A and B are shown apart, each in its own frame.
Chain A
C-alpha cells in the first residue's frame, strides 16, 4: 500500500449563500432594478387596504372626472371613484391572477415534463403531441370559452389560462429534463439503486429549478397581459372590483372626453410590471455564466 493520506484545501465557498453582490453579478443591474420594482408592487398589493387613501368603490357622481388634486392625487373616474385607490387595490387582482396561473401551469407542466423526459420513448412522444395540441389553443380564446361556460369571474378564467400555459412551461422544462436525464450523474443515481421518484425529486428537479424559476417569471408577464385583456373584455374580474385590465376598459370613454388618466395609468402599470417580469426572467434564465 503505497498511497499516503491526502488532504485538500478548505473549500472556498461553503454553499450557495445569497449576497447582494452575488445577485447583481448574476442578473445585472437591470435585473436588480426590475426585481426591486416588482418587490415594491407586491408590497403595495399586500398592504393595499392600508395604503389606499379612499374606498376604491365609493361612487360620488358629483366628483366625476375630477382632475388631480390634493384630495385625489390622480383624479377620479367617470363615477367619481378615486383612481389612485383603485390602482392600489387593483394591484391585488392584477398580481394574484397571474400568480395563480403561473403556479398552476408550472406545477402541472413540470410534472408532465419530468414524467415524459424520464420515461422517454412512446410516453414522451404522446406527451409532446398532447402539449402541441394544447399549444394550438390561444389562451384568451380558452379563457373566453370557459367564462362563457362557467360564468365570468376570476376562477374560471385563471383556470383556463393556466391550462393554456401548461405547454409553454412543459416544453421548455422537458427539453432540459431530457438533456439532464442523459447525464451520467443520473445514471449513477440509478446504479445506486434509487427509485425513479427519488432520482426525479431529489436530483433532477433541483437541477431544473433555475430554469423553472426563470420560466415562471417570464410566464408571469404574459399571464398578466392575458388576464388584463380578459378583464378588459369584461370576462375576468367583474366590476366594481378594481383591476388594472378592467380599469383600462373603464377608462376608455374618458380618453375621448379628455380625461385619459385612468386608462393610461392602469396601462402604464401593466407595461411596467410585464417589462420587469420579462427582464428579470430573461436575466435569471440566461445568466452571464452558467456555474456548477
Chain B
C-alpha cells in the first residue's frame, strides 16, 4: 500500500547569527491512508516545524531539504498553483491556539465560507453548509456562532470552528498541531473525541502532534518520538508504552507522575532538552542518557528497524535484551 504522506530525511534550517542552524535535523515518517500517527517530543524538538513543512507554511527565512511526498507527489517542489490546490483539497491543519489563527475582524461565517468560496459554494449554500459543519463538531446553536467574532467565543468553541473548517474540504490528511494544548482538560477531552470520531468516520489520515505520550497513545495507531530535531523512535502506540526502544522514550515514560503510586520524588531525566543546533556530534541524547558509552558520541546512530518499529540508538538491542528499558523503575522507587 502506498503511503499517504511520506517524509524522508527532512531538514529545516534557519539563519542564526552567521550560519544556518538546524531546527529539524533529520525526520522520517510515513502515514498510510486513514492511519493516525502521533508525533511526540518536547518543546523545541521540531514537531510543529515538521508539520508546517508539510503544507509549506514555514517562515520565509527557513531552508528546507529532504523529501516530502503526498500520495506520490513531491510537496517541496510544487508550484504555487499546485500548492494551493493541495492545501485546498488534500490537507488541512488544526493549530495549537485557535484564537490567534482567526482573523479578528471577520465573523466565523466569513472564516468558514472562505474555504467554500474556493470551491464555488457561496451565499445561502455556504451558510447552510457552515451550519452543518458546526453541528458536526457539536455546536448546537450554529446560527449564533456563525455571526460571532472570534473574540466573542471561548477557546474550545474556536477550536471546534477550526476543526469544522479543516473537515470542510474533505481532506485526506489532517495535521493537528497540539490541538488541545491551549484548552482546559474537560474541553480537551471533547475536542479530542471530535477529532477521533471525524477521523474514523471519514478515514482521514492524521498527524497528531503533542508532547503527551499518553494522548498520542489514546488517539494514534503509531507513535513517532522526536528529540532535538531527529526522529529517535517509531512504534505502534501500545508498544511504545509497553516496550520503548529508545532510552529517551523510556525516560519520558518513567518521569510521568502516577496517581496510583505515592512517590516522594519524580524520576527525572537529567539535564535539559536541547535544540537541534545544539546537538553534539554523536547521538544527540547521549549527554543525558544513563546508558551512554563513549562510542555513542562518535557518530549519529542510524534510524533502523527493530522489533516491528524503528529506533535511532546504537545500543537498543542490548538494552532491550537486558531489560533496561522496561518500565520497571516505578516499582523500584
Contacts and interface: CB of A to CB of B under 8 A. Distances in A.
| Genuine A/B complex | yes
A3 B194 contact: yes
Contacts of B104: 185, 207, 292
Given A2-B193, A11-B147, A190-B57, A185 B153 contact: no
A100 B105 CA distance: 29
Contacts of A121: 60-61
Given A8-B144, A185-B102, A191 B57 contact: yes
Given A8-B157, A191-B87, A203 B103 contact: yes
Given A192-B87, A192-B88, A11 B144 contact: yes
Interface in A200-220: 202-203, 206-207
B198 to A, nearest CB: 11
A7 B148 contact: no
Contacts of B100: 183-185
Interface residues of B, number: 47
B118 interface: yes
Given A8-B154, A192-B114, A193-B84, A185 B101 contact: yes
Contacts of B147: 11, 14
Query: For the side of the interface on A, what is the size category?
Result: 20 to 34
B202 interface: no
Interface stretch (B133-141, B218-226, B272-280, B310-318): B133-141
B138 A3 contact: yes
Given A5-B140, A6-B140, A184 B97 contact: yes
B243 interface: no
6 contacts: A4-B138, A6-B140, A191-B55, A194-B84, A202-B114, A206-B106
Given A2-B190, A191-B92, 6 more contacts: A6-B140, A8-B144, A188-B95, A195-B84, A207-B103, A292-B151
Interface of B: 55, 57, 59-61, 84-89, 92-93, 95, 97, 100-106, 114-115, 118, 138-141, 144-145, 147-149, 151-154, 156-157, 165, 169, 189-190, 193-194, 197
